[in-house]
Amino acid sequence: MTLNELAKQVSEAFDDLDLIQEQIKNECISLPHTTYTIDGDTYSVAKHHNCKHHSGKTAGVYLQYDYNTAELLYIGKASGKSSGVGDRQTAHRSSYDFSIGSESSGQHMRNHMHERGINTLVMSAKYFDMTDAKPGFIEMVELALIDKLNPILNKERSR
């Protein structure tokens, strides 16, 4: 059985969407908000405040929301070994304004904003601290949540 097949089975066990949303609300740790802005051909990004809870090398699954609409935009993971949840947030911010080219999430965010006619998007993020979990389990939880919650930017990535 592949990891995707196992994640699908786990996702089917998570049929109670209200319970999943309640777990996210109660169990996730909030990260600083980030503002993404488009001004003509200029893309800029700003983190609202410094994060003091040391998420940099923390392993886990994170969820990114539109702060104003609460719409779920993206679900991702971090192994905690090569990069943590905080490092992944930095990579997303850096790819938005072209600071790094190896990360594709910035292009997906720019496309999403253009398609919706949004000049400013405030992103909030939360994560499950899974420091003690094995990387395969972290990926399984990520895939199950993507399957069940269907975030917009994860759909963009699979096109």
Report how far residue 119's alpha carbon sits from residue 92's, in angstroms, rounded to the nearest whole number: 18
- Tell me the percentage of the chain whose pLDDT exceeds 70: 81
Evaluate if residue 50 carries a pLDDT over 60.
no
Say what the pLDDT of residue 95 is: 84
Summarised one tens digit per residue, pLDDT across range 32-48 is: 888 999 998 888 888 77
How confident is residue 31, by pLDDT bands cut at 50, 70 and 90?
confident
Tell me the residue range of the domain where 104 lies.
Answer: 3-158
Say what the pLDDT of residue 159 is: 44
What predicted TM-score, i.e. pTM, was given to this entire model? 0.81
Mean pLDDT across 92-121: 83
How many domains in the chain? 1
Summarised one tens digit per residue, pLDDT across range 70-94 is: 999 999 999 888 888 888 888 888 8
Evaluate if residue 1 carries a pLDDT over 70.
no
